Chains A and B, each alone.
Chain A
Amino acid sequence: MFDFGVVLNNLEFLLVQGLLGLGAFGGGTLALAVPAIVLGFLLGIFVGLARLARSPLVRLPAAAYVEFFRGVPLVMVIFWIWFIMPQLLGMAIPEYEVALTAFVIFEAAYFGEIVRAGIQSVPRGQVEAAASVGLTGAQTMRWVVLPQALRNMVPSLVTQMIVLFKDTSLASIIGYVDLTKAAQIVNNREIRPLELYLFIAVVYWIFAYSLSRLARRYEHRIQAA
């Protein structure tokens, strides 16, 4: 009944093309996931800091941004970008740019909340102590608050990275050839969905699970410290 030969015969296409993006189609799950995580987090830092700004002119738009993107499905955001970018820029946009833009904009809302919670978890006394030794606001943020906040953020950051990593499978909806799309392509020819989808499930699982183990190890270490 099961025939995992289909996986072995197409292993190179699935992994080299789908996962790494080194085949004729370009694409690739990792080629999308890694930049999306890095850029999403960077934008998230700004969103999180803006959420804590004293001026409502900065704080309220940031709050609206977060509430908006946390209230709509990622698939919807991908369709928006897919449709609206070519209209705004007046030319066709490759799936990669569409997907990356959607992920960065969407995930920055979630990363922003993590950054905000991380900064708020630093005791007020730390800020007061920094002020009393004569540090400016920016110096306090840079040398006292952010280093401690980052440490507190690590567990939820990793969780969000895992979510983002899994979500990159949704880029296959607009035709981006990642691991999921590669499995679909092979399945269209071989019609062995059970084996193929189980196989990519395991590949996704290995990445996500290792990340979560790493996070747990780190958590224990900072708790012990």
Chain B
Amino acid sequence: MSTARGIVIVGSGQGGVQLADSLRGEGYTGPIDLFGTEVHLPYQRPPLSKDFLGVPDETGQDATALPIRAEKFFVERDVTFHPGVGVETIDPAAATITAVDGQVLPYRDLVLATGARNRALRIPGAELAGVHSLRTLDDAAALRADLLTARRALVVGAGFIGLEFAASARAHGVEVTVLEMAPRMMGRVLSPEMSDHFHGQHTAAGVRTVFGEGITEILGEDGRVVAGVGSSGTRYPADLVVVGVGVLPNIEIAQQAGLAVGNGIVVDEYLRSSDPHVWALGDCCAYPDARTGALIRLESVQNAVDQAKILARTLTGTPTPYAATPWFWSHQGGNRLQIAGLIPTDARSVLRGDPASGSFSVFRFVGDDFAGAESVNNAADHLAARRILDRSLPLTPEQVADPTFDLKGHSRTSPVPAA
């Protein structure tokens, strides 16, 4: 076994795997070790709450997980993948990690791509059969098995995961009730206008939503869920409960190693932690927003993949700060939501297009500054908004509101050089 110090990646999700790929793409020839706590080949998470839970198509094929890269990728790129092996401790002084199987591995650079985990619901009955959360392939497989026989589902939390599941469950003909403590759907990320639109769409599809309602207890019979009890005292009969109440970054290993942590592992614009040879990327890291300098933590494929690509450059000798425009998506029934930019919740909304048509956007402004856009079934607006943000092009509320304004053409113009 080689004793050369290479790059050790902790976490085999989208960011960790992309980093291994990009390191080879950038010409790195040293050892790469990729550790992942799950036994599966790395797979894509977003389809797990959408296609994977869907109704089989006319060919009758059951859903299977979509790999991020096939098995032979790891062989061909000489990436040592350690499936089902978590990393237990880091010794930054010695520059070694200790894995759960006892192996101690030295590193030149260590990258933490440990992701996030679902926030647990700590209420009576949370352990009953039929109560699910959804993050891993095993979660999705268990949920899918129950979904095929379920009649009534209760969803706790009207965020992306809960609503994507709700749409999938309706496609199976399952009755769905969604409980949400806030007064509207996806309220932490969306404008009121877009929240309302999605509320209307879900309602039309037969999803019942109760706002201002939490859950206090889950009732069971013979070890299986039969109902949830809302904070109002209302009893919601259900044979399936899905909990989607947010996530927590996996920072414990960094904390144990004495690295700076907050809401995520704290890194600089190069994704370097408080130790010069330890880095972090993806859902687990808190990094400075290129526009405002504020430490932010994002949960998205785009962020993990783009950070991995940037970090591969830095680790191969071309230090590159991370400044990509964030974007997100969610697919709920026939509604495809795409968000460009990081939008403060109190931003001002300007409508573009007609919500009644099912394809429109809400452009959002802080003062007169364009902050980002939410689009539904409108890739053209979304991509134009992304180009405008990428290039820091000017955009006014009046332009957005004018249906004759050529947004796409504008988004392809060159930035005006600073005077």
Say whether A associates with B: no
